[in-house]
Chain A
Amino acid sequence: GDSVTQTEGLVTLTEGLPVMLNCTYQSTYSPFLFWYVQHLNEAPKLLLKSFTDNKRPEHQGFHATLHKSSSSFHLQKSSAQLSDSALYYCALSDRDYGSSGNKLIFGIGTLLSVKP
């Protein structure tokens, strides 16, 4: 079945350093990939979504590139800010709505802690 792997549970960075959170996936078909972010005591919300073409989605300085050859959708940012501290989930949804109903399959989440 479909699955998402996020390898790091906790990433601690100093403000200003680059961010890279890893995400790889397994899927029978070519799925949609997402990054959701959840700040403390808040709802998860969409950060980025993969495009069907080769465009690279960007939001709030974050970007991610879908590499079908390596089944990866790593999240990157050139310079971490204190406000980036949050829980980041990589997720996928199947393109076949009939069988999956647009359900999201989430990775375990990576907690990003940015320190001064």
Chain B
Amino acid sequence: ETAVFQTPNYHVTQVGNEVSFNCKQTLGHDTMYWYKQDSKKLLKIMFSYNNKQLIVNETVPRRFSPQSSDKAHLNLRIKSVEPEDSAVYLCASSPTGSGNTLYFGEGSRLIVV
């Protein structure tokens, strides 16, 4: 039963364009995340927010910027896409605190041509 919703599911764009991915969770969690899953299926954390505050910011290019309007929403904007940005972007949420389960959305696949 899906409780983390991502849009769009799929997006094809050209190098240099701007794209945005939206994520909403209905679980009442305080913490949300963006992960990148590349073509080799490697899963890496990009950002996490707790109650609209950025708490984890891994080493990602500056063209990536997360945006949170409230604790149930976390969007990801990519200002000028590059070919290496082609990947599946997975949004997740969890309760606040260590060791809590992450609940993932089904992902937004980005293809940069």
In contact, A102 and B43 (Cβ under 8 angstroms): no
C-beta contact mask, A42-54 vs B, less than 8 Å → 1, else 0? 1111100100000
Whether B42 is near chain A, meaning CB under 8 Å from some CB there, is yes
In contact, B104 and A102 (Cβ under 8 angstroms): no
In contact, B48 and A103 (Cβ under 8 angstroms): yes
C-beta contact mask, B40-60 vs A, less than 8 Å → 1, else 0? 111111001010000110000
Tally of chain B residues near chain A (CB < 8 A): 28
Residue of B nearest to A52 (CB): B99
Inside 8 A of B48's CB, which chain A residues have their CB?
101-103
Q: Which of B41, B42, B44, B107 has the most CB of A within 10 A?
A: B41
Residues of chain B having any CB pair with chain A under 8 Å: 2, 4, 31, 33, 40-45, 48, 50, 55-56, 90, 94, 96-107
Whether A20 is near chain B, meaning CB under 8 Å from some CB there, is no
Inside 8 A of B99's CB, which chain A residues have their CB?
32, 49, 93, 95, 102
Residues of chain A having any CB pair with chain B under 8 Å: 32, 34, 36, 41-46, 49, 87, 89, 93-97, 100-106, 108-109, 111
In contact, A43 and B107 (Cβ under 8 angstroms): yes
30 A-B pairs within 8 Å (CB atoms) are namely A32-B98, A32-B99, A36-B102, A41-B106, A43-B2, A43-B90, A43-B105, A43-B107, A44-B43, A44-B90, A45-B104, A46-B102, A49-B99, A87-B41, A93-B99, A97-B96, A100-B56, A101-B31, A101-B48, A102-B31, A102-B96, A102-B97, A102-B98, A102-B100, A103-B48, A106-B42, A106-B43, A108-B42, A109-B43, A111-B41
